[in-house]
Amino acid sequence: MKFVTPLVLVATLSFAASAQAQGTEELCHRSAENIVRMKQLMKIDPLFLPSALEDNSKSKSKQVVKDLVRERLFYAYNRKDMPDKDVWQLAFIDCLAKY
């Protein structure tokens, strides 16, 4: 009987960690897809980056959000000549490492 409480606690914490990991994976998957889309737009339209940077600087978001968007734009720009699959994998791994 004295092992029931720790067993329940361990089971509860492991389920919570599993849900967090699943949420992080979905977040990173979407983030990687968005970076690939930005990369594709940059290849199609050379004016995408300057206009996106201008829109970002004019937005009313917090400075932290602006910095993150700017970082993601340049992340995609610096990898615009790489294949989509490679960019997606790098962005996914980068996201997992950050979160």
- What digits encode the pLDDT tens for the residues 3-50? 444 444 444 444 455 445 568 889 999 999 999 999 999 999 989 899
Phi, psi of 68 (to 5 degrees): -65, -40
For 19, the 3-state DSSP assignment is helix
Supply the pLDDT for residue 24.
87
pTM: 0.74
What are the tokens at 32?
A: 């990687």
Amino acid at 3: F
For 47, the 3-state DSSP assignment is coil
Supply the pLDDT for residue 36.
95
For 84, the 3-state DSSP assignment is helix
- pLDDT of residue 2 exceeding 70, the answer is no
Supply the pLDDT for residue 89.
97
